[in-house]
Amino acid sequence: MEENKRLVGRPVKWRKVGLLPRVGYFKPTAVPLYMLEEVHLVVEELEALRLKDIEGLEQEECAQQMNISRPTFQRILNSARRKVADALVNGKAIRVEGGNFELIIRRFRCGNGHEWQVPFGSLVVAPQQVCPTCHTSGIIPLPPGVLRVGGGWGRCRGRGRW
Phi/psi at 124 (5° precision): -70, -40
φ/ψ region of 134 (left if φ > 0, alpha if ψ in -120 to 50, else beta) reads alpha
pTM: 0.68
> Are 152 and 140 in contact, with CB atoms under 8 Å apart?
no
For residue 94, what are the contacts with CB-CB under 8 A and spacing of at least 6?
25, 26, 27, 38, 39, 41, 83, 84, 87
Nearest to 21 by CA among 143, 105, 121, 144: 144
Neighbours of 110 (CB within 10 A): 20
Structural domains in the chain, CATH included, are 12-98 (1.10.10), 102-156 (2.20.28)
Start-to-end CA span in the chain (Å): 44
Residue-level pLDDT, tens digit, the chain, 162 residues: 455 556 677 777 789 888 778 788 999 999 999 999 999 999 999 999 999 999 999 999 999 999 999 999 999 999 999 999 999 999 999 999 999 888 877 778 888 888 888 776 666 556 677 888 898 888 887 765 433 333 333 445 554 444
What residue type is 74 in one-letter code?
Answer: Q
